[in-house]
């Protein structure tokens, strides 16, 4: 991976961006895309858009990823100064106990640990609920804790980026900072290729709480087609429940979603671009919806042809998500190739 793009990816991953609190991460993304966009803008909820102005009669294409990550929120503080969290998105309480966390308070970050009863003292090992968790910030009273944070402050795990090999990257929030990275890099490739299409790069908010940003942006832009980048379940590890999903593996290329929200013309177009450019791709069966922003875009304005492209990801919704950056670069190349030649595939209409 080229050094500037690598640094951008690390900056995104190291900037906390839980759903509803994406501002810091969006600033990082906008600063990067502003270098090669004709225009950048945001809406009232913080969705970020970069624009390449194309020819008047050419299609309009949106390349998108979501900025937000899962996390927790300060729900209450008890009389002994322990913070009781609530969920932001699909947070997994089973892997939360014993973790270092950061509470993002107005006066700066507050370090804490999610408590866990020592193994010597536990009588059972039931799966916890988020409501069972508590965060110890070293305070001895509600008053002391309240001087450092307040109700509604967001919380993220304190884990950061680890390069396990030249291309294997582990981090918190890979879902879905890698999607916004790919949208930006695909956009950059299209700009450098002089794309005739008008191309939007989009970093949406609040995907993890119901694809809310995608619905807003889809209604606002109403592009001719939207390609959504998210992560998909890689199941190439011990104990993976491989019978529950398509057989996706790291290092085998981006995965093209097929079925439900995924538009068949876009699927064929992206597979054609992959073939022409020698990009290995996998196919992911998604017969009941994608669980991504594609589900928000495709009905946002009377029907926007939409397609999800997944980055294979191990250990989704944990503090140690893992990808192969060769797959990620393949996604960016695929997006750039499609956006650069979008007119060849338009109109994006199912023939009956």
To the question of whether residue 317 is assigned a binding role by annotation, the answer is yes
| Sheet hosting strand 225-233, strand order edge to edge | 39-42, 48-52, 198-204, 60-66, 225-233, 306-313, 255-258, 282-285
52 assigned binding-site residue:
no
66 among annotated binding-site residues:
yes
What is the 8-class DSSP label of residue 127? P
Q: Which residues are catalytic?
A: 207
- 115: its two tokens: 């408590």
8 A C-beta contact, residue 168 and residue 327: no
Helices 23-33, 3-14: axis angle to 10 degrees equals 160
Q: What pLDDT sits at residue 243?
A: 81
Q: Just give the CATH number of 3-69+172-344.
A: 3.40.630.10
Give tens-digit pLDDT for 98-112.
999 999 999 999 999
Q: Where in the chain is the domain with CATH 2.40.30.40?
A: 71-157
pTM listed for this prediction = 0.96
Helix (H, G, I), strand (E, B) or coil at 344: helix
Query: Which three-class secondary structure string do you get for 268-305?
Result: HHHHHHHHHHCCCCEEEECECECCCCHHHHCCCCCCCC
pLDDT in tens, 16-40: 999 999 999 999 999 999 999 999 9
What pLDDT, in 10s, does the model give residues 59-101?
999 999 999 999 999 999 999 999 999 999 999 999 999 999 9
Q: Is 69 annotated as a binding residue?
A: no
pLDDT tens digits along 140-161: 999 999 999 999 999 999 988 9
Mean pLDDT of the chain: 96
CATH, domain 71-157, list 2.40.50.140, 2.40.30.40, 3.30.450.20, 1.20.1060.10? 2.40.30.40
Per DSSP, the three-state class of 110 is strand
């Amino acid at each position: 991976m080229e050094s500037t793009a690598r640094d951008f990816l690390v900056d995104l991953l190291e900037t906390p961006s839980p759903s509803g609190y994406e501002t810091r991460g969006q600033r990082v993304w906008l600063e990067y895309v502003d270098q090669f966009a004709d225009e950048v803008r945001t809406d009232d909820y913080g969705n970020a858009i970069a624009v390449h102005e194309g020819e008047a009669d050419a299609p309009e294409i949106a390349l998108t990823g979501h900025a937000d990550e899962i996390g927790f929120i300060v729900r209450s503080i008890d009389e002994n100064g322990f913070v009781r969290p609530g969920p932001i998105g699909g947070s997994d309480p089973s892997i939360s106990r014993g973790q270092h966390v950061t509470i993002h308070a107005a006066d700066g970050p507050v370090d804490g640990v999610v408590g866990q009863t020592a193994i010597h003292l536990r009588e059972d090992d039931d799966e916890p609920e988020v409501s069972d968790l508590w965060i110890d910030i070293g305070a001895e009273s509600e008053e002391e804790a309240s001087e450092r944070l307040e109700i509604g402050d967001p919380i993220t795990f304190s884990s950061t980026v680890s390069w396990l090999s030249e291309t294997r990257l582990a981090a918190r929030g890979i879902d879905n900072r890698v999607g916004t990275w790919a949208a930006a890099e695909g956009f950059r490739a299209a700009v450098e290729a002089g794309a005739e299409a008008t191309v939007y790069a989009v970093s949406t908010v609040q995907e993890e709480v119901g694809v809310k940003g995608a619905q807003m942006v889809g209604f606002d832009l109403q592009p001719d087609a939207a390609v959504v980048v998210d992560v998909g379940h890689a199941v190439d590890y011990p104990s993976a429940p491989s019978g529950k999903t398509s057989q996706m593996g790291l290092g085998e290329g981006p995965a093209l979603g097929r079925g439900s929200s995924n538009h068949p013309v876009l699927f064929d177009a992206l597979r054609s671009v992959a073939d022409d450019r020698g990009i290995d791709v996998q196919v992911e069966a998604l017969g009941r919806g994608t669980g991504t922003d594609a589900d928000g875009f495709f009905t946002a304005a009377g029907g926007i042809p939409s397609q999800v492209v997944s980055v294979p990801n191990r250990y989704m919704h944990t503090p140690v998500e893992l990808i192969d950056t060769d797959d990620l670069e393949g996604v960016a190349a695929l997006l750039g190739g499609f956006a650069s030649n979008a007119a060849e595939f338009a109109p994006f209409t199912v023939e009956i």
